[in-house]
Structure 1
Amino acid sequence: MSNTVIVGTQWGDEGKGKIVDMLAEKAGAIVRFQGGNNAGHTLVVDGEQCILHLIPSGVLHEGKKCLISNGVVLDPEVFLKEIDGLAAKGVDVSPARLMISKKTQIIMAYHKLLDNCRESMKSADSKIGTTGRGIGPCYEDKMSRIGVRAADLADPELLRAKIEAALVEKNVLFEKLFNVEPLDPEKVFQDLLPIAERVAPYLADVSSEIQNTIKEGKSVLFEGAQGVHLDIDHGTYPFVTSSNVVAGNAAAGSGCGPRQLERIIGICKAYTTRVGAGPFPTELFDEVGDTLQRVGHEFGATTGRKRRCGWLDMVVLRETARLCDLTEFALTKLDVLSDLDELKICVAYEYRGEKVAYPPQEQNGMAHVKPVYESMPGWKGDITKAKKYDELPVEARNYIARIEELSGVKVGIVSVGPDRAETIVR
């Protein structure tokens, strides 16, 4: 298998975890290259569900290296909770196979407090829908060059000094702006020490691990979180995440060269969903939207929030294809569309009196577009038992063919159910 990057093509929740889990079988290492525990990847193997927020989705495959890279922001408490949960199920989570880059930024208690204080002060129409997990403030400290990195967890004196320095400014904000009690730097330090001791054995040079894996003739699977339209630069700003989600960041976010990225798979849900605030041109507020939400079990794996549902948006997918240079789509949740009489696909937008094929570049421009739809007949019956592409109803195959035609990207993988086995590889 080629070195492969997995990205979400919409606003996250496309089913990346399942596809990563499936492809991990042939990879030597699986790398999580951006984001934090504001994303959840749900895996279903033999009917048993497993939700991961930080640990790469390939961890369920015995003997595979699982690497958390420098592009990630890591909450060490969440990390330890995940490894304890996996260990209880008999999964090997030893430092011999599970590693954290020494350059990975650490989410601190003050990041989470700052995140929640800011969101609570905003009016209802200005909230961006943050998960409140400290992701944004942690990335801010990284860019301000005052962040705590994973390597600092093994250096108590440096760790204490960084905490003290970070809280000089933040405590002024807590006390004077947000009217909350300032944090005691020493208490933050002491609370973190036992956690740091448990995390320290997992620290490694992830760049070298990736390089060595490739030298051994094995492939590397790069796993992204969220979706491209939540990218801090290219998403629906300001309703975005705090990191670069596009495929190109797999190189910078993991410490390898861009020529190592050979295959780029965009995970695409057969319809569109979005969690939290932000523009959503094809959102449905009718019975069809309710059906997609109910049949698709559309609740966020991390927050539990109900996902907004709508028709497939090819403008969004076209933009992702050009931003990430996709080699193929993996189409998920096709089974959710079964038994709908009519399917609609958004093929373009009307924006400022013109028909456009790509999203407008102005801030919040997508809030002012009108989707242009074309209709296709749906299909009836259960498709979850289909093992080959030609076993799908002709209407389902026509739907897939139209996606390929409108995007210029082939659909190489089709998921017809939540389980690992319910997948067709073309």
Structure 2
Amino acid sequence: MTARPQLPDRAPRAKGVPTALDGLLVVDFTRVVAGPACTQTLADFGAEVIKIENPDGGDDTRSYEHADLAGESAAFVSLNRNKRGIALDFTKPEACDIARELIARADVVVENFSAGVMKKYALDYASVAPNNPRLVYCSISAYGRQGPFAARPGFDPITQAESGFMSLNGFPDGPPVRTGTPVIDMATGMSACNAILLALLARDRLGRGQHVEVALFDIALSLTGFYGMTYLMTGVNQSRFGNSPNGSPSVGLCDASDAPFYIACANDRLYRRLVIDVLGRPDLANRSEFADRRSRSANKEKLRAILAGIFAQDIRENWVARMKAANIPVGYLRTVEEAFNSPEVRARHRTSQIPHPAAGSVPNIEQPISLGLTPVSDPIAAPLLGEHTKEVLSKTLGYDDARIAALAEAGVFGTTKATADVGGNGAA
């Protein structure tokens, strides 16, 4: 078995520095990827995020198969940092009452249940907004909360397929390919976070919150980008082009004599720099068939063969060094292992390890957004199932020990080992 990489402890943020979302209370009903990605960003920048889970197993990603430490999967750990977790069984009326009390105090609610679930428990926007008109309520779904497709279930790869996004991935002579990572889920989470922040800004001006929606299908369609716009403008159906957009011979994966690398000479200026300063072939810049981008695209197979023959004459490290010296965009083709051990990751402090109550420590991938005056909060590992139930009920809602014990006895927090300490003296 491959050894777990050694990671540095994370350096703490400076004392007394504010966070961007300090004082914001978020009630998080989300699970799997898109919703948790959204609420994790809010939590990273100081919002108090209370993640509500079903006590019977919790968020589906807890049991994902990629990897786990002390029973916590890589997927769950990567998407639920800086949250406080509570477990509520919504088949118990008291659990719904607790959720409504939290929502009444909240600034933001985020949910990505199937259509009708929140309404079933009177936790939908129409039910809760009258008691909290400043609430920003975000719904994340596959096809939206309104219209003929609202009840359809859907996941990242389904919307990749249906939106045309997947048809753009892969090589022209091969089948469409989904992205390795769930990019639609992640982009939906980012968009949901943006929508919430926009609604909070609007609340400051208008004095009230609103219901915002983000749908995976809509995000996937938007990510077809200028290829989708090209179809709308010309009627020409765009398709797969592999590693070279529109078949550009000077953008894409190239093979040195020992290993591949990627170059991106997408304009005439960079192309001339490549063939003149790096390859020493001014003829490739001056010939009319290669003189501009359109000409190179029309003669791409011929130019690609010439470049391939040149690159095969030397090792990758030499080509990369020459291109970097000429300020040409170039990069190594790395595996995940190589990327996470790269000088860029080390120099930018992208990884660390943080304490975990069961595993001792877990790896941490840093939040990619940086704010100079309000940096991210010190990361706290994703919660164990129901870990903060008692704390949230006592500190946020003001319940005393007797009331919490009675609720635990009634099964409101479930009956699994993960929630068994709630009614006693445990820290859950």
- Greater share of strand: 1
- Normalising by structure 2, report the TM-score: 0.25
Q: Pick the structure with greater CA Rg.
A: 2
